[in-house]
Amino acid sequence: MLKTFLRLLSIKPILIMFLILVGGVLVGGYMAYDHYWIKEPPVELVKSRLWDRLEEKARLRKFDGGIKLADEKDSAAMLVAMNKQYDSATTWQMMYQFFGEHLWQAEEMLKSNDPQKQQDAFKIMAEIGTRAARSAFRDGASDGWLGARIAQVYFLPSRPLVQAMVAAQKATNAPPVDPKAAKNAARPVPKPARANLTKTLTEESLIRSANRMFETAGEMEPVFKNYQLLVKLAPTNQVIPVRLEYVRVLEGDNRFDQAIAEMQQLLKTAPTNQIVPLRLEYARVLERSGRFELAISELQQITNTNLTAKALDRLTVKLKQRADNK
């Protein structure tokens, strides 16, 4: 034991420093992996990457809002002005210069306290994402990544802002209090609501716009996550349609196991008058996933249906034939 200790003491200091350095690199690498890969990166980091990409592609050090879109009278005019500039671009470098200037302007509008400007900012950002994902030149190139990062950095984090905008809109559009009743109650009379207020952006439409940009970029994980939010936001009579929409999105990405699990949960909680159409949809999901026997079994359990027995038999035979040929 003593000999081993003396040998350790005889190791050269440079070797000890090397081991400490290697250990530090390993620990630091693990922490970075845990923070940036396992967990979702912070929004500010993604935002920095977004602007770095724009500056690199546009070959500019910074954007300063030289294109004053906010001076336009309304969002429709701004979108027309934007698209004229995009159509005039002859290179991707010019296109990214427009993207950067427009996004800079939209970000400034989003920081304002004017609800109309804030809504217009989202429209501008959505248009940037749409044009970036579209093949603008003969080279066939596109940049869906840009739109996905706009959704990640600006759209989803702005949900509280949109919630506040919706609440303010509802309060503003509330019916005015009767002046006589207000006087009798000894309280001030509120000003009448403005009749020409623009319809406020909703949280649902914000999330759906973000989903379109993620889907265009082929990034489906955020889309699936956002559908959970859409289900929670949906009014009671729209929960089932939104969940069915989610099932079809899962199918489109070949995630049949998740789609089937979602349909099974729907059947457990659905009201009685929805069971038959949901069973039919469940059978279709099973068929599309290749689970023919289960689809047949599900169809055979349907007794109260508008489908005639003959039509049901024909569909059952078809499924059996496909199962036999599998």
pLDDT per residue as tens, the chain (326 positions)? 555 544 555 555 555 555 555 455 454 444 444 444 446 789 999 999 999 999 999 998 888 766 666 566 677 888 888 888 888 888 899 999 999 999 999 999 999 888 888 999 999 999 999 999 886 666 677 899 999 999 999 999 999 999 988 888 777 765 554 544 444 444 443 333 332 333 568 999 999 999 999 999 999 999 999 999 999 999 999 999 999 999 999 999 999 999 999 999 999 999 998 988 898 899 889 988 888 888 878 877 877 556 556 656 767 777 677 767 76
Cβ-based neighbour number of residue 105 at 10 Å: 24
For residue 168, the model assigns a pLDDT of 81
DSSP assignment of 75-135: HHHHHHHHHHHHHH--SHHHHHHHHHHHHHHHHHHHHSS-HHHHHHHHHHHHHHHHHHHS-
* H helix intervals, 173-255: 179-184, 203-216, 221-233, 239-252
Question: How far are the Cα atoms of 11, 45, 299 from residue 55, in angstroms, in the given order?
Answer: 51, 15, 57
pTM for the whole structure: 0.75
For residue 307, the model assigns a pLDDT of 57
What tokens appear for 121 in the block? 């900012």
For residue 193, the model assigns a pLDDT of 35
